[in-house]
Amino acid sequence: MKFLTVINRDEDGVWVVECPSIPGCVSQGATRDEAMANIREAIAACLEVRAEHGMPLTIETQQIEVAI
């Protein structure tokens, strides 16, 4: 499966990654590569826990274009 992720650097320089389609699925890393590896593990763990609890695996998300 493929999931959209959002990655940002915080004020301390730590890379923080979120998977918007899985509520609460967030990870981080000292480098971008480490953060992306960690979010892959987090996604797998979140999906496993949600399945065990009979929760929907994902929620619907949608990208929109906004003119600014």
Considering the domain 1-68 in this protein, what is its CATH number?
3.30.160.250
pLDDT, residue 66, reads 82
- Tell me how far apart the alpha carbons of residues 36 and 17 are, in angstroms, rounded to a whole number: 7
Long-range contacts of 62-67 (CB under 8 A, 24+ apart): 63/4
Distance CA 67, CA 10 (A): 26
pLDDT digits (tens, 9 = 90+) for 23-61: 999 999 999 999 999 999 999 999 999 999 998 888 777
Q: What mean pLDDT is predicted for residues 13-18? A: 97
pLDDT higher than 90, residue 63: no
pLDDT for residue 62 is more than 80: no
Question: What pTM was computed for the model?
Answer: 0.83
User: Is-contact 9 22, C-beta < 8 A?
Assistant: no
What dihedral angle (degrees, nearest 10) is formed by the CA atoms of 66, 9, 42, 62? 0
Residue 27: phi, psi to the nearest 5? -145, 180
